[in-house]
Chain A
Amino acid sequence: MSPAASTLDLPFARRRLSNGLDVIVHEDHRVPIVAVNIWYHVGSKDERPGMTGFAHLFEHLMFEGSQHHDKGYFPPLQQAGAQLNGSTNTDRTNYWEVVPTSAVDRALWMESDRMGYLLPALTPERFETQRKVVLNERRQTYENRPYGLALMALMAGLFPFDHPYRWPTIGDVPDLEAMQFDDVREFFRAYYGPANASLVLAGDLATEDGFELADRYFGDLPAGQRPAPVHAAASLAGERRLVLEDRVELPRLYLAWHSPAMFAADDAELDLVADLVANGKAARLYRTLVYEDRVALDVSASQQSRELSSVFVLAATAAPGKSLADVAARVDEALTELAANGPTDAEMERARAQVESNFLYRLQTVGGFGGKSDQLNAYNVMRGEPGYFAQDLERYDSATQQSVRVAAGRYLMAEGRVALSIVPRGQAGSALPGSEPISVS
């Protein structure tokens, strides 16, 4: 076990309420705050073609009031000194509050009220306003931002039209515009019950008090359904070359491959590959593309780990006067070399040191995105084991030069991948040769 893994001491206790709600309590008394973190196991993967964007729009509606507090969710909590937020991705929706210890009752009252009693407060007017807010969010975050549509185009290239990862979590515009109030209500009934949720209380409270509070506020809510798991497979034969014209100054190449699901064999290896090729100046692709040959301005890589299957994405922006073909040739060369000879000892050591330390850095906070409470929930929902910390880190410790080499070969040398060129408007010719235009709605 690595030195860091041995210091990972996160004691917790878990119980399941009779309605199926998982409750996990972790004590940390250093700061007089408590993190409340709740995951609903629903995301855009649970949507259907033609009806996309529900999970995310729904997250917005959860902040608009519930039966016994029929107005905005923020004021009583901000008045209590809370920080709070929520987010939706393909696999899950999470909500969190971090409150002074003296306000934990209020936070749980509010979370439980919207879990149990949202629909009586959900009006067509509130729905209409949030539909507009989400359309604004889409314009601001995707359409009005350079390269903002890249991931949408990649997913459309990687997945068939009915695959749960095909559409963006924010939803397609025509679907958002066509969304019906009644469908939104149905979505709540299907996914927002205790049986499909997991609650973490972390911070300045005693374990038994935590369970007692959870039972008091959530214990009498009806269980709701536990939705059937989603299954889907996707593969790609050959390279698909796509081009998208956008309001950008310089062309950027995106390469994307199908890769193993979160926590599956080779998931950690591909995470290490991403570090090895693009994290820091010493990383292989940064070094050749940006530092030495100067054909690119930047390069990034990530293993985007998800529940059903993952995607490995690599991106590089061409330097002025350089072509995407130059960039692609060097990327392929570097990946081929990695798949043939694997990383060096020194590279493995660096990558592991970075993984280890980033792991610890994240766990300095009890709440918020990525803090201890969020991570306990992630492990519980995705693994059924809230205390998966040391085993998670162990995946990286036990990776070897050999296993990284093999993973790079198996997944990144595969025939099937998407090569997306994002090019300045009117310059479709600067895409990789043979690219077909793609439009995203």
Chain B
Amino acid sequence: MTVDRSALPAVGPDPAFLFPRFEGHRLANGLEVRVVEHGSMPIVSFALVVGGGSGSDPGGCEGLMGVVADMVDEGTGALGAIEVSEALANIGGDYDVEVGADAVVLTLTTLARFLDRGADLFADMTTRPSLRAADFERVRQLRRDRLRQLKDVPSAVAERAFLRLVYGSHPYGHLSIGDESSLASLPLDQVVQAHGAAFRPSNATLVVAGNLRGGELLRAAERAFGSWQPLESNPLMLGADQAVSAGARRRLALIPREGAAQSELRIGRLAARRDTPDYPALVVMNAVLGGQFVSRINLKLREEKGYTYGARTGFDWRKGLAPFVLHASVHTAATAEAVTDTLHEFEALRGERPVTPGELELAKASLTRGYPQSFQTVPQVARAIGQLALYRLPDDYFTNFGPTIHAVTIDDVTRAARAHLDPGTLTMLVVGDQQAVAAKLSNPEWPALEILGA
């Protein structure tokens, strides 16, 4: 049989997508529990979303919530850190904790036959951690040592410095690991206090997902978490509630890294909040500009110029004002050119070269048609439902994502780019070899180069 190779096969209509239906319940202690039947393998996942992440660290205590989250598997009741680790291994448990700017998300995945053991262990760890001094000292020291190692990782140096540049002293202005001076002086009672303030039934959502009946999942959650009672504590400060402004001027900064083979670039600004009505237009804008392989910036910097292994843009969404940033590691000799090209692409999308109908269609198709792939596994679905709770999004949000994206127009994208991508207020950061790149970074159209410490 001979194939017609004169044209690509057409693609059929968009597949229908329905996000798995879940049920919400509220336990007597105020904990919201969401259960969902999902998956074909005998696997269950618990995801606990706790409000208040690194954006709740008070000034001088940067890294606090990261330590709190780290202490969750360091002992509970009669179990020490080693015994917790053994208990997790005995049920084939995959335990994970992510500390975001607005929330801590803890996940435990285990085999369905360990539903009750998994639920009990997860509840003990998260709601009644021992928070012992010896474990705290060890965890804190490991994090300080980790910080020291991160000084050698250019991408980590850039992430950290970029947040500080755009947020200043705002609680969003640091990574969850914090910094050397704050970790060094962090007292244990702050950790106990912060755990009590954040880990409360009324400030958390528990998602239980798996290929068991919803009733069974709910029963396990109730049994394990029903007795959780909040401790007395001070109210929790939230980064999202603290005022911050987008910055009024352009900045260009360099962190010297002698002899670096590549320059790590970050170019961006504080752009929008997760609840902005422009969200769908911004998601499409990002896909066109730098969110995927075929985006303008990657095609320019990688496929046309060969400056880099890859360049991407993205939003680091938060409840409060969130950054939109280009990330790339480029050949040292191409540093200034890569900055110039990126600025051109940012600017062009705002009017001179607006998104074309073809680009718009490509961006929408790739955002929506591949969407069901993000919800295959049990932990993926559990975390996704947790995100809905965190950002207060409606239950049918994922099901409606496709239609919402399809409604975005070229004008919407141009308008969103004009509103949120002002090139006059971009912060440009280079981590690279000062001797090799500084002279070429002096450009009459750019601000004077600031040299920063690492």
Contacts and interface: CB of A to CB of B under 8 A. Distances in A.
Interface of A: 3-4, 7, 28, 30-33, 67-69, 72, 74-76, 78-83, 98, 100-103, 105-106, 109-110, 112-113, 117, 128-137, 139-141, 143-146, 215-217, 219-220, 247-250, 279-282, 287, 290-291, 294, 297, 317, 319-320, 346, 349-351, 353-354, 356-358, 360-361, 363-367
B182 interface: no
Contacts of A146: 149, 152-153
A250 B8 contact: no
Given A68-B6, A112-B3, A140-B309, A81 B370 contact: yes
B81 A109 contact: no
What interface size band does chain B fall in?
A: 35 or more
B13 interface: yes
A103 B12 contact: yes
Contacts of B83: 282
Interface stretch (B159-167, B361-369, B382-390): B361-369
B85 A280 contact: yes
Contact of B294 (A75, A134, A140, A360): A75
A109 B376 contact: no
A199 to B, nearest CB: 15
Q: Which of B16, B43, B292, B293 has the most CB of A within 10 A?
A: B293
A98 B111 CA distance: 26
28 contacts: A3-B111, A4-B111, A32-B15, A32-B16, A32-B372, A79-B366, A81-B365, A100-B14, A102-B15, A106-B9, A106-B10, A109-B3, A131-B306, A140-B309, A144-B261, A144-B329, A249-B149, A249-B151, A280-B86, A282-B89, A346-B86, A354-B89, A361-B41, A364-B41, A364-B376, A365-B377, A366-B376, A367-B373
A76 B8 contact: yes
B142 interface: yes
B148 A320 contact: yes
A79 B362 contact: yes
A291 B138 contact: yes
Given A79-B365, A250-B145, A282-B89, A98 B3 contact: no
Q: Which of A67, A130, A350 has the most CB of B within 10 A?
A: A350
Contact of A139 (B43, B294, B331): B331
A82 B8 CA distance: 15
A33 B262 contact: no
B103 interface: no
Given A248-B152, A282-B85, A297-B145, A349 B8 contact: no
Contact of B42 (A98, A140, A360): A360
A100 B138 contact: no
Contacts of B122: none
Contacts of B304: 129
A139 B261 CA distance: 6
A193 B247 CA distance: 56
A139 B262 contact: yes
B1 A216 contact: yes
A361 B94 contact: yes
Nearest to A80: B11
Contacts of A287: 82
B260 interface: yes
A-side binding surface: helix, strand, loop or mixed?
Answer: helix
A357 B110 CA distance: 7
B225 interface: no
B307 interface: yes
Given A282-B86, A346-B86, A365-B376, A143 B13 contact: no
A281 B82 contact: yes
A83 B370 contact: yes
A43 to B, nearest CB: 20
B41 A363 contact: yes
Contact of A136 (B84, B138, B308): B308
Contact of A360 (B5, B43, B262, B369): B43
B378 interface: yes
Given A31-B376, A75-B294, A137-B309, A354 B365 contact: no
B438 interface: no
Nearest to B292: A78
A274 to B, nearest CB: 14
B17 to A, nearest CB: 8
Interface in B281-319: 292-294, 299, 302-304, 306-309
A74 B294 contact: yes
B344 interface: no
Contacts of A351: 89
A136 B262 contact: yes
Contact of A280 (B89, B145, B149, B331): B89
Q: Which of A81, A143, A294 has the most CB of B within 10 A?
A: A81
